[in-house]
Structure formats: structure tokens, C-alpha cells
A = this chain, B = another copy of it.
Amino acid sequence: MARRSSEVTMGDIARMANVSESTVSRALSGSTLVAEKTRDRILEIARNADFAINEQARNLALRQTRTIEVIFPIERGTLQQVSDPFFVDMLAVLTDELGKHGYDVLMSRSPPWDEERPGCAFLGARADGVIFVGQGRHRSAIRDFARRHASVVAWGAVSADDDYCVIGSDNVGGGRLATEHMLKLGRKRIAFLGDTDLPEMRQRFEGYKQVLASYDIPLDEDLVIHTPFDIEKAREVTKPFVELFPRYDGIFACSDMIAMAAIANLRQAGIAVPDDVSVVGFDDIPSSAHVSPPITTVHQRIRHGGKVMVEKLIGILGGEAQEPEILKTELIIRQSCGARVATPS
């Protein structure tokens, strides 16, 4: 890396070893076409010379990139949003899984199409495929992109009309699990905290509404609070909401972070969780089990999801069409909604 100008090339090694470049190439790539003795000698020389193969040239010759671009389409500035542990987990899994298949991971925070690369107005093809971790508000752009550039999978809200491969949790089901759980515990007036502009949140909201309907509970618009992801902002937004108590006795928060923010405000206002109000979150982030009270939450199978995305992408690269997939979610019952459960383990 670096020091590129003075980098030693295969030609140099060839000269040192008194063989042709091709032989060096073959020796380094472990071809059987080169005598063992020669190979060892070349390897030795290469090692001593600190030779590092130029992967760009290699990939160019091989017509591959062995790189997958992973895009986290997150508005800049809203750093906090990223802090959601979801992203790290996902990134870690993707990196591992892609690594197993021999792919490198190129990170991006913005989608390729709004990239203003100086001096080049064109979308650079720098990867064999693209994974969108979240579709945010640009579904149609992704769709367009997928149509033009084929190998794409995305994480997010799966819907019937996707024309590219989307993998995502069963958000509707998760919303149902959360809401129904509280109703079964005897809660009557469940509030919803989340940003329904985002497709996944909308699905969770959908599950929430479905359950209310099936219990013949009318939707109370005042209990639907548009709450951003960022925990600081969520804290602010839910502050006035707390005042509405006792119009609600249960809260379905679209993420554990939001749940935490709400709980903090409730406690501060002297409202007890879970005694006065039950709270259910979403995500099952690592700390959710260890805060007070431990948060009941909907678990998303992120690791699994990451693996599935990679598998599908590899499939697509191999030329096979791939179906979208919806991953089951699971309710993790903890104290915050009134369960008599002791703290875990």
C-alpha cells in the first residue's frame, strides 16, 4: 500500500529471479505449471522484496473486482442515527460473510447516484454488486439503479411490488407481536412511537393497527407519535407525549432507543414502567436486556439476515434470479411490559 510510486512489481521480481513475468505470476498464484524449485525461489525473493501484488491490475486482467459495495443510505449529519447498533452488527456480518466468499467490502454512506465525484460525471463501476442496508426514502432510485446495474440486494421493508431482491424482517408481524402482547396483558390504550415515513416503521405501524382492529379498539391518532430514531431527539419528542398520561397504558416503540428515551421521560415524570405503563421496543439491541427495567422487545434476526443477503447476492452474481425473503421476528419478553420475568440468565 502507499508508496505506490516505488512499489515493486512482478517485473522487478522477474528480473531478480531471472525468469519471465509470466513465471512469476504463475508462481505467486500457485499454478502447477511452474517447477517447484523455481516457485520456491520466486516466493522467497518476492517475500524479501516486500512484494505486494497490485490487485487493481490483477482484477483488471481477471475482469473482476472481488468487491461488493455496501451502502448505508443514511442522511449525513444525522450521525446518531447510525449509532444504532443494528448497523454495526449488519456491517460486521456482511464483512465476514462476503469475506468468506472472497469479496472485499467497499463502504459507502451515500448511494452511487448522488455521488459527485470530481471530474467524472458517471457512476463508477467499482464493484461486482451492491448491498443496500436500508432503503430509506429512495426506493425508486434503488429500483432504477437495480434495473441498470443488475446485481443488487437490499435490506428493508419487503413489499409485493419490489422488482429487485429485498430481504427484511417481518415488520408487520413484529408490530403485531408487540401490540398483541400488551393487549393480552390487559393494556387497553397502546400508543405508537415511530417515524411512519420510513417503510419499515410503516409496516410495524401496520401490524399495530391490525391488532387494534382485531380487538375492536379504535385507533387514537393522538397516541401515534412521529418519533425520530435519534435518541436525543426521541427524548425531546416524547417529552410532551408523556403529559398525555393516563390516556395510554402501553407503548409500542419502533426501536429500543426510542423505548429507552420514552422510559427515561416517563420515570422522570414519576410514571412507573411497567406498573403504570407497559413498554415494548424493537431491535433487541445488546443493552436492552441490561437497562432498568429490561426492555421487552422484538428481535430481528440480523445475523441471519446478513447471511441471507450475501447468499442471494452471490446467487445473483452467478446469474440466478433470487426471490425476496421475509425473516421471522420474535418477541423477547422482559420486564418493561409487566412480565413477571426475572432478569435474564
Is the beta-carbon distance between A109 and B119 smaller than 8 angstroms? no
A1 an interface residue at 8 Å Cβ cutoff? yes
Using Cβ atoms and an 8 Å threshold, which residues of chain B touch A150? 1-3
Contact B88 A83 (CB under 8 A): yes
Oligomer: number of copies: 2
Question: Which chain A residues (112-140) contact chain B, with CB distance < 8 Å?
Answer: 117-130
Q: Are A124 and B52 in contact (CB under 8 A)?
A: yes
Expressed in whole angstroms, the Cα–Cα distance for A235 and B129 within the complex equals: 40
The distance in angstroms between the C-alpha atoms of A279 and B4, with both chains bound, is 50
Complex CA distance for A297 and B61, rounded to whole angstroms: 53
Q: Among residues 244 to 299 in chain A, which have CB atoms less than 8 Å away from a CB atom of chain B? A: 257, 260-261, 263-264, 267-268, 285-287, 289-292, 294
- For residue A8, which residue of chain B has the nearest CB? B125
Asked if A151 and B96 sit within 8 Å, CB to CB, the answer is: no
Q: A-side binding surface: helix, strand, loop or mixed?
A: mixed
> Which of A74-82, A173-181, A192-200, A214-222 makes up part of the contact surface?
A74-82
Interface size class of A (residues with CB under 8 A): 35 or more
User: Is A190 among interface residues, defined by CB-CB distance under 8 A?
Assistant: no
> Which of A14-22, A100-108, A204-212 lines the interface with chain B?
A100-108
Q: Would you call A109 and B83 a contact (CB within 8 A)?
A: no
Contacts of A52 in B (CB 8 A): 122-125, 149
A56 to B29, CA, bound (A): 20
The verdict on A307 contacting chain B, using a C-beta distance below 8 Å, is: no
A74 and B54 alpha carbons, distance in the complex (Å):
26
A30 at the interface (CB under 8 A from B): yes
> Is A231 touching B292 in the complex (CB atoms < 8 A)?
no
Q: Which of B82, B110, B130, B268 contacts A89 (CB 8 A)?
A: B82
Contacts of A51 in B (CB 8 A): 122
A55 at the interface (CB under 8 A from B): yes
Q: Is the CB of A1 within 8 A of B126?
A: yes
Q: Which residues of B contact A105 (CB under 8 A)?
A: 106-108
Give which listed residue, B5, B55, B107, contacts A107 with CB less than 8 A. Answer: B107
Which of B96, B129, B260 is in CB contact (< 8 Å) with A76? Answer: B96
Is A64's beta carbon under 8 Å from chain B?
yes
Pick from B83, B109, B110, B345: contact of A236, CB under 8 Å: B345
Could you pull out 26 A-B pairs where Cβ atoms are within 8 angstroms?
A: A2-B150, A5-B63, A7-B125, A28-B122, A30-B121, A52-B125, A54-B60, A54-B124, A55-B126, A56-B59, A56-B65, A70-B107, A80-B286, A82-B92, A84-B88, A96-B109, A105-B108, A231-B287, A231-B290, A260-B290, A261-B290, A263-B290, A264-B291, A264-B292, A264-B294, A267-B292
